[in-house]
A and B are shown apart, each in its own frame.
Chain A
Amino acid sequence: MKIAFAAILILICHVSVGQVRAFNKRAKELIETKDSIQDIEEEAPSSEYYAFLSEGSDALNALFMSETKSMARSKPDELTKSQTLMSLAELATDAWKGTQYADRKKWKALSKHFHRAFNRSTSKFNYTKEISFRVKLVNNHGKKFYCDKKPGICEFNLYAGKKPTGLTKEEKENLPDPTPLDYFTEQQLVDQFWRQMRRNKIIKDLKRGRYACVGVNVEVDERTLNRKRIPTARVVIIFGARRLREIRIKKTEMKSTT
């Protein structure tokens, strides 16, 4: 038992170490020495269902980005899209898989790797805050559901109710069509997004314009597809803030220092 336990532990460690290595290695390759800043395009969430399987995660990415900016509207010029942060967020969603997204402590332990990677680039901010969470992509309305690939009614093979079992052939023929689960609408996804943001206590600082840059990445977790699981997307948001935001330097001083 002890041996098995130790073996599992070593395996877990190996996997996690491997992930860190992959992250650091790719960070070295990807991150450019000078950060580039772009404006965030604004998009309003619609009440239509968001078909993540056909539309992918890019639209959701842009939507979340736009929502972040709309929250910082009081200081609209402050928040911009940082290429370094985008790359880091993408790397994080790509390299780190597993329970980190759910466990806040585990995620916090990863922050040093973000800092290390972040230092490779020169940017206009020097403080970062990384947030990660999952967003449900299919709405089961809080009820039971099951996964069945046979009917082929919906793309993600999830249906409401209990999966009929132990039925005779006749009963099977007379069975009504199963009720597929719905996609979330964009607005519902945005609501989920805000709920998570609230949980991470970021809204107050965002509203006050303390953050200068943001990088968002949304990736559909393929391990939640075609199983009896609600399909989710892993979301990593990295905020960058200027530490010296409050410091004002007189023009004369600037001249003398230059």
Chain B
Amino acid sequence: MSKFTLLFVLSICGSSIAQSETSLEPCTHCTTIAEAMEYPSGVTHLDLHALGLGEIPKEINQFNNLKSLNLSENFIQEINFDTLRLLGLKELNLSKNPGFNTLALDGIAECSPSINSINFSNTNCISVSPEIVKCEELTSLNLSNNWIQFLPNKFGELDRLRSLDVSNNHLKMLPFLDGLWGLQSLDISENDDLHLNGIGASLLLKESLETLIISPDKALSKGLPNVFEVVNIEKLVIKNSSIDALNNRLSRNPMLKTVVLDNVKVQNPKRFVAWLNRMGNVNQIEYKNMEVHPKLDDIVSVGVMQFDNCTFTDRNELRKVKPRITMIAHGTDLHNGSYIGNAKIVDYEKSGITVSQDVIAMNDDMIDNTLEPIVEQSEQVNIIPADTPCEIKTENTSFEVPADAFLTASGEVYEGTVKAVVKEYMDPIENALTGMPMVNRTDDGRNEIFSSSGMLDFRAYDDNGVELKPNPANTIQVQMNDLQPSESPNFYSFNEETKNWDDDLPPASSRLARRKSLVLDSLNKVLAAQITGFQHVPILLGMNYKKSRKDPYQLTFSVDQGRKMPLKKIRDFQPVVYTANADQRWIARRNTWKIDTILTDDMKFLLKDVKKDLRRVSRKWGDEPGAGNFTIPRVIKDLTLTPNLEDDNYILTFVYQDTVRRLPVISSFGGSIRRIQTKEKANYKSFKIAQKTALKEKALIEKYENTILEEYAQAVRIRRAQALAEFPDYESANREYLRFGLTSFGLVNCDYFSRNIPDTYVAFDSVGVDEDGHDVNIPYDVRNVYVDDNVFVATTSDKVPVFNGKRSIIFFLITSTEIAIVKGWEKLKNGFSKPKVERVKIDRTDSPAQIRGKILATEP
């Protein structure tokens, strides 16, 4: 029995040891840096979402085998890929980092050459760097919910891209779609200015496309333009729009199997159902997040009906739906809705800035933050209800007060009327006059002077005048003008008991100036043609072939559209230029060409495909005025002819489906060799003339693009940068602001430490002289204001710091109604300096702003 007990105990010990061993195993899927740093080379998946990160952790380069990196829901504003080395990275998620302006991807190809998925949604991004095309392995790109107006044309070089989501942006055209031949899923919904006819034309010959998500224009009552009749899509999702009915031409699309209506208002249910019933090809209809239209019982054509998070106008109709139709219903929302809730915030590591010793000797009251005010700051009183959300606006600040934002002293939610008292301290002179506590005594005994980016005092009182506390569950959000936008301030709240500042989470800066410069930089990289919507439309070429009893097939070309005469001059801004392409026109019009080789199967398939595609695009889709030639996709492009003397033929080159194809051809002249040789010579001569004409035309357009178009584009760039940078459209859009949550009431500031070293010190004598020659007694307390740095410091009169080249105001109180502004000093023999001052009369009823005005009035 004892042996059994021993064995039992041993087994338990063994299992516990095993458990402890497993618990010590380093993680491969880590959620914090600390966890991942235990065994950096073993980490393959790093999930750092919602950690309040302001930048990418420096340790990230140590994870050599990282495959996926999730940095979503943080506060990262830019990434410098040049400093990163993540060679194995496949997936990068940067979504919901709201501070990005441009997706600058310089160096990403060297950093992560095999990256295949980038999620950049919800980042307030305005433009995307063309560097993205260097990610040759990229298969999935999510740029949804941003502010993108232009995407670089180079996107067309992403040959492996399978999924592209550019929904909810401000895109106007997507010319690069022509080059994306492997695309399987495309989401272009909620781009109000996007021209669906052009998109349809671009997608016309894409065989691989499976899913298309769109938001039709309001003007399109049929939902879609006619061109979608022949677009190869299996699943069509219509999203966030209002339609009259479906375009009945979709019934001719044999590929279309599923139609999804996502938050769509069907205005004419009777017509919608009638047209749906005509679509014998559509087997499934899905309704999502919407009120389903009536007349469901009249639907007969589909096999499956699906409802996700829908409501019905008449539920009884559901009982009458044809019994052969399978119905699927999901009560829950399957749609990935927009992000809700706040990101979890944790402390991040302190920066390793080395701190120098205090260099300015302050007086004791300044250090203790107990300096006597000369005047009190004026206050703004607002009476607000505590149980409903409201907004308080002052000159420099706006407070977004949610419901139930106040607690009583006992910790209960206060629901009555609140008297909110706000004082703003936005000027260093006013700070000096009101004796604001501007020193932060750090834990290691240093006294840091604040350089202020903005300070305010918010207090709330109940009906009885009892002070209220903030409710941590419903924090008041403050948006305060940033006095020093170029700096990155921290957030501090004043502790009345310790008379010192407690540091808190840093505020989020609008960084508008930086945003504007970034936007302008990124817009400067966008081509003039893109930014102005300039279209250089080449001729539309058709290529056909005729089977011959002889082996070589005969090729014939047709020219359907384009300018017949070459352009001579483009004087003013022209959004569209139709070119003549004289050389291509010559090749197409002059001869029938014979293929000068034995035809392989590949060649035969190519010729068949071209012929088939040509037949598809040659139909007229221009059901919208002004659609022009641009809506017709060019099946073959860039037709060139080069004589190949080595093999005594010509090499005919053209681009089909983004691939350059070459065919050896000879002209079909018959007759004697003398006739043929003479004709070849004459023809080549005229071809050279046509080439010259085409080159001239090309040069003319290039010149136009570099001059008139570029000038026009530059103006547009500046205008757009201005407009884009002002997002979001607050009243004070042009002002920099700081945004933070008011976690404690009382005095709070957004400041940083001023550590400037004075150029010299001046010791004032006990007596100065005013402008009239009268003596003025110098008090012990002298207040110095450095206007450029927003710094106020009170020093002793025997060691007044002086900064050369900085705008400073030194003043002191003479009497309770008079202050003296130091205008200069005279060096005395005893080493002291005799200040020359100017007297300024003040009244105790004056506001700090008024006194400030008087002080500034003394300046020359």
Contacts and interface: CB of A to CB of B under 8 A. Distances in A.
B502 interface: no
A118 to B, nearest CB: 9
Contact of A126 (B649, B674, B681, B684): B649
A116 B550 contact: yes
Contacts of A175: none
A205 B673 contact: yes
Contacts of A126: 596, 647-649, 666
Contact of B647 (A120, A124, A211, A247): A124
A101 to B, nearest CB: 22
Contacts of A241: 673, 676-677
Contact of B672 (A205, A246, A247): A205
Interface string B668-701: 0000111011101100100000000000000000
B676 A243 contact: yes
Nearest to A112: B550
Given A115-B550, A205-B672, A246-B677, A124 B646 contact: yes
Contacts of B646: 124
A224 interface: no
Residue with the highest number of chain A CB atoms closer than 10 Å, among B645, B666, B673, B684 = B673
Contact of B680 (A115, A119, A210, A247): A247
Contacts of B442: none
Interface in A233-258: 241-247, 249, 257
A127 B667 CA distance: 11
A211 B674 CA distance: 10
Nearest to B551: A116
A122 interface: yes
A80 interface: no
Interface in A92-129: 112, 115-116, 119-120, 122-127, 129
B551 A119 contact: yes
A127 B645 CA distance: 13
A26 B668 CA distance: 27
Interface in A132-156: none
B647 A123 contact: yes
B642 A127 contact: no
Contact of A127 (B643, B676, B681): B676
A212 B655 CA distance: 34
Nearest to B672: A205
A245 B674 CA distance: 10
B334 interface: no
B681 A122 contact: no
B648 A125 contact: yes
Residue with the highest number of chain B CB atoms closer than 10 Å, among A112, A115, A242, A247 = A247
B673 A124 contact: no
B254 interface: no
The size bracket of the interface on B is 20 to 34
Contacts, number: 70
A115 B677 CA distance: 18
Contacts of A125: 648
A211 B598 CA distance: 23
B647 A122 contact: yes
Contact of A247 (B549, B551, B596, B645): B645
Nearest to B667: A243
A250 to B, nearest CB: 10
A27 to B, nearest CB: 11
Contacts of B597: 119, 122
A210 B673 contact: yes
Contacts of A211: 673
A246 B681 contact: yes
Contacts of B678: 246
A247 B673 contact: no
Interface string A182-218: 0000000000000000000000010000110000000
A123 B648 CA distance: 8
Interface string B627-666: 0000000000000001101111100000000000000001
Contact of B596 (A119, A242, A245, A246): A119
Interface of A: 112, 115-116, 119-120, 122-127, 129, 205, 210-211, 241-247, 249, 257
Given A242-B645, A243-B666, A246-B681, 14 more contacts: A115-B550, A119-B552, A119-B597, A120-B598, A122-B597, A125-B648, A126-B648, A126-B666, A127-B673, A243-B648, A243-B667, A244-B648, A246-B680, A247-B681
14 contacts: A115-B550, A115-B551, A124-B646, A124-B648, A126-B596, A126-B666, A241-B673, A242-B648, A242-B677, A243-B648, A244-B649, A244-B677, A247-B684, A249-B645
